[in-house]
Amino acid sequence: MDGLMSSMDGMDSSMGMFTAENKAVALGYWYAVAGITGLLVAGRLITLAQSHLRRAWFQLDDSKVPSRPESGVARVYATTITTLRELGYSQPIWFSGRISKYFTPPPLGQCLLLAAYWTMLLIMLWSNVILKPSSSQYAYKWEKVGFRAAWVSVTQIPFIYLLSSKFNPISLLTGISYVRLNWLHRWSARTVFLTIIVHWAYFFREWVLSDLVKWEFQLMPMVKYGFGAWSVIGWMILTGFGFFRALNHELFVAQHICAAAALLWLLYVHVPAYAQYNVWLSVAFVAFDWFARIVLDVLRNTHILSWRTAKAPGYAATAEALPGNMTRLTIAHADFTWRAGQHIHLCMPTIRPFEVHPFTIASIPVRSSSTSSNTLELMIKAHSGFTRTLYNAAKKDALTGKKRRVFINGPWGMPPDLRHFETVVLISCASGASYIVPILRRLVTSTGCVAKLHVHWIIRSAQHLTWFESSLREAVQKAQLRSMHLQITVHVTQTSDDSSISSCGLQGSIGAISVIESEASSLSPARNEKQIMSAREEILAVDPNTALRICHASRPTVESMIRPPVEAALGETAVVTCGGLAITAQTRNFVAALSDERAVHKGTEAQGIFMHNETYGY
């Protein structure tokens, strides 16, 4: 991939000229990574301290709003955070087509971080390498740039492998999940591909001018290895495109691992000995990750550290087919705990023994004095491949009562802790409720500052209510016991008859739970409004704080779901969305615009808005 990278200290006197300076540039790269990581760690510590203090203050006096900044320092910090949020949340360009969605650029915040990363690399790449004719090193003008680009490229390799690891120092220190770092993993790889072009292009230009192209390829094997490494990176970038990942994720993972191993070998035989530490550092990151994951897998699935007496490897799971091509997979005796919003990687040998798939945990861990186990539930939407095979097997298992052995890796993910916010808005589409409902259940069962909870679940058919019927019932009942203001609205976007609603067991009043059924498609506007108002009056008569509403209408707008609770909030609001790219992008743009419109923490009484998005897919 270059003109004699090994001659950085090799064939001619240019070796000694450039090595020390280039090593200093490479070291500066890691200083920058360490500095940014330090800032993120500081931000995490501040957030943890803020959360703890808010909840402690609320326990002392629940009439106060701890998330409302009072001191001058707190207001300055809140204003700074708000400004960063308004810059980072917005997603000006996005596509929702079947193919076009994969060409959606990152949100503005990620684009700004990427621009800063590129700026840093450009400074590293071009600083002090353009030689004037009067320079004593002018004869090496091509090599100087080529060597610098080589160092800039190879220095990024360990960073790319680090970001690909589930167990990595950055995630462990900052609390940012590997999932949320994956975008940087992909973009840094694309960046390396470009810097490598600079690396070999300058050497190739020198070879052309000296008529040495054929000689270089014949007598210098590292040149071939270098171009091979560049080709492997190009292949990994191409096959890592979202469309191909979604097309066959198992095949993508298998070939990606093989390509990553091949790349390290090609780099090892290409770079000079004094630059091989970058290869070994990459190997160290991967080895640490795999070792930690293997140990976790063994401990998890052999139950070595468990209270369980049964030592059969893995877990017994029951699969249940639900309406809407949904499978509920239940592990009745999970001997570990997890956080709401985390996910696991699941292997089911009786379905597809060589496949591992990630699924969000749709339940929360609940331990009592009478049991030491948790019930873990997964809600798996049947599409194709493994999920479709599982759904078909679940329908057969209903007749036989068969339980299936599964193996678990995880839990993974670092979802945000929302307990220190005053108002929380949770929005999900269809199976996205697997992420939202556990968070809802945690908020209504744990101590915190949350006073108002607004939940919106958008589904196509009323039959889909069966997916989380019991969880929604329980959440409302828990909220009533705590006098928490909880409003759950289920938006059914396709017309359904009353029989389908009744079959869900959610029609009318359920204890203190009242349900609004507003079939907008079959009512005139005047009559529809009158009946809705009548139903609201009934809710207020039962319980002014809690309600579970079913609305049959068109898809609600993001503004209708977010603006009312934000404008009524006395303290900071958290907005969490789980769904497709369209609703998450719309949420990003609206939250950023609403914060700017209300001049949050900029001399007004408007309070901050935190946002967290999860999207479907890999």
Structure confidence at residue 450 (pLDDT):
93
Q: What is the CATH number of domain 423-615?
A: 3.40.50.80
Give the gyration radius of the chain's Cα atoms.
28
Write the pLDDT tens digit of every residue in 511-533.
333 444 443 333 333 334 444 33
pLDDT at 496: 53
pLDDT tens digits, residue range 130-139? 888 877 777 7
* Pair of tokens at residue 268: 């090892």
Strands (DSSP E) contained in 390-430 are 404-412, 423-429
Q: Which regions of the chain carry the CATH code 2.40.30.10?
A: 315-412
Q: Sorting pLDDT into bands at 50, 70 and 90, what band is 208?
A: confident
> Long-range contacts made by residues 595-598, C-beta under 8 angstroms, separation at least 24?
595/82, 595/85, 595/86, 595/89, 596/86, 598/566, 598/567
Portion of the chain with pLDDT greater than 90, in percent:
64
Q: For residue 582, what pLDDT band results from cuts at 50, 70 and 90? A: very high
Contact status, residue 436 vs residue 457, Cβ threshold 8 Å? yes
First vs last C-alpha separation in the chain: 32
pLDDT band at 535 (very low <50, low <70, confident <90, very high): very low
What would the pLDDT profile of 25-37 be if each residue is shown by its tens digit? 999 999 999 999 9
Q: What is the pLDDT of residues 559-581, one digit of tens each?
A: 999 999 999 999 999 999 999 99
**Average pLDDT value for residue range 72-89:** 91
Both tokens assigned to 596: 């700017």
Residue 340 and residue 364 in contact, taking contact as beta carbons nearer than 8 Å: yes
Above 50 in pLDDT, residue 540? no
- pTM, entire model: 0.88
Average pLDDT, the chain: 86
| Cα-Cα-Cα-Cα dihedral sign, residues 354, 358, 359, 365 | positive
CATH superfamily for 315-412 is Translation factors (2.40.30.10)
- pLDDT digits over 289-316, tens only? 999 999 999 999 998 877 666 668 999 9
DSSP element (H, E) containing 257: helix 249-270
For CATH 3.40.50.80, list the domain ranges present in the chain: 423-615
pLDDT for the residue 618: 62
Q: Which of 117-121, 213-217, 381-385 has the least mean pLDDT? A: 213-217
